[in-house]
Amino acid sequence: MEKRNLKEILQKSTLKNLENCPEKQSNVSTKQPVEFLQQDELPQEWRFPKDLFMENIIGQIQKGVSTRRTVSNYCKHMAFATQVKPKSINEALKDESWIAVMHEELNQFTRNDVWTLVPRSDKMNIIRTKWVFRNKLDESGAITRNKAILVAKWYNQEKGIDYDETFAPVAKLEVVRLLLGFACMSGFKLFQMDVKSAFLNGIINEEVYVSQPPGFEDHLLPNHVYKLKKALYGLKQAPRQWYERLRNFLLSHRYERRKINKTLFIKNSNSAIILVQIYVDYIIFGVTNDSLCKEFVAAMQGEFEMSMMGEVSFFLGLQVKQTKDDTFLCQSKYCKEILKKFEMEKCKVATTSMSTRCYMGADEAGTAVDQTKYRGLICSLLYLTTSRPDIMFVGLSLCKISV
């Protein structure tokens, strides 16, 4: 063996014996290579990085090696979001992370006093329940958390018995754009908050009975059912009951509801103004005074279980960037979802959306296409015109042909 190669191997092999030689560790300089071992002490299969300096060593040398057991014990105290979405309750019950999420959902039921376990009767119309599993995403498409929702199978409901009125107003995307523009012109920013298990806060007036959650039946009372006190996800009247609960709460705090837009609430206080826009369980608001903002947040968190999400960055598929002087809107994430949904990720890019002189008519000799998929594509393009008005002509032309 050449002397130069032997010298390099000896230099790279010193780290292994530093743990057993504390006197050598104290004499090693952070700027010089570590001392060499004797030739007879060198194992043949050691492999180390090229530059072996003490300053390149990460962590403590005396700590030793982390085994699988120590790593598993550390992971027990951490919370992870899994990317695998179960297809059935049996598959979810095999994953501890999804079991914990389902327990969290049922704990929400207990805190909100949603239901009461009662004996089953032949006169009851029992509505079955099921679990819905979702992966919550942020504006970049990354999974932030997992959520399991217990929903009622609405098709088992009977009108006049299980529900009466079902209509609930929701905010239009055009109204959200106007609110963003008004906030930009007035010099204040919009913030967003989310109501946890919003529909569980709506009080229902009808007698509604649902079956026990699949996989979480009471082993002592398996034949009992739950009588609902508050609305449950999936019920036809759930959105309406939640809106009425939130509306009554805001009106009791001296907020005024707009006559045209029923989901916009405004409050004036000492020359300051606060605007609250509601879309089901998502709420965006903007204020011109910090004290009024703190008052609104404290009132909402005192009545409902809320989670503050900071400035509005992603709302109804619309990506928002608020600066000091401007507000930028984008739907890049929504565009990627459309391309993936309709299998057009590898299509060629066109410089213009569509020729204005192009005539499109019915192709009588062509093959039939899936009308549902085609109409879904048109609706997706029309929703995209919120931030891309240049494709308005394309969307309206395709919409006219489909009719």
CA distance 117 to 241: 22
Residue carrying the six token digits 């993936």: 340
- Label residue 141 by pLDDT band (50, 70, 90): low
Confidence band, pLDDT 50/70/90 cuts, at residue 64: low
Tell me the two tokens of residue 278.
Answer: 């509601």
Q: Find tokens 């598959």 and name the residue.
A: 91
CB 213 within 8 A of CB 232: no
- More confident call, 12 vs 286: 286
In angstroms, rounded to a whole number, what is the distance separating the alpha carbons of residues 377 and 192? 30
> Could you report how far apart the first and last alpha carbons of the chain are, in Å?
84
The shares of helix, strand and coil residues in the chain, as percent rounded to the nearest 5, are 35, 20, 45
**Contact criterion met (CB below 8 Å) for 286 and 190:** yes
pLDDT for res 130? 93
pLDDT digits (tens, 9 = 90+) for 218-270: 888 989 999 999 988 889 899 999 999 999 999 999 999 988 888 999 998 88
pLDDT of residue 265: 94
Strand order in the sheet with 318-322: 314-315, 318-322, 327-330
Q: Where are the domains of the chain?
A: 3-64, 89-322, 336-402
322's CB contacts (< 8 A; 6+ apart) are 183, 184, 189, 190, 311, 312
Which pLDDT value is given to residue 29? Answer: 42
pLDDT digit string (tens) for 1-47?
444 454 455 455 544 444 444 444 444 444 444 444 444 554 554 44
The residue-averaged pLDDT of 272-280 equals 90
How does DSSP assign 198-243, residue by residue?
GGGGPBP-S--EEPPPTT---SS-TT-EEEESB--TT-TTHHHHHH
Q: Which stretch of 24-38, 112-126, 311-325 has the lowest confidence by average pLDDT?
A: 24-38
Separation of alpha carbons 162 and 235, rounded Å:
9
In this structure, are residues 28 and 54 in contact, taking their beta carbons and an 8 Å threshold?
yes
Per-residue pLDDT band for 329 (boundaries 50, 70, 90) equals confident
Relative to beta strand 126-127, strand 209-210 is parallel
Token pair, residue 243, equals: 């809106």
The percentage of residues in the chain with a pLDDT greater than 90, rounded to a whole number, is 18
- Nearby residues of 272 by Cβ (< 8 Å), 6 or more positions away: 287, 288, 289, 291, 292
User: Of the spans 117-121, 333-337, 341-345, which averages the highest pLDDT?
Assistant: 117-121
CB 380 within 8 A of CB 344: no
Given a cut of 80, is residue 332 above it in pLDDT?
yes
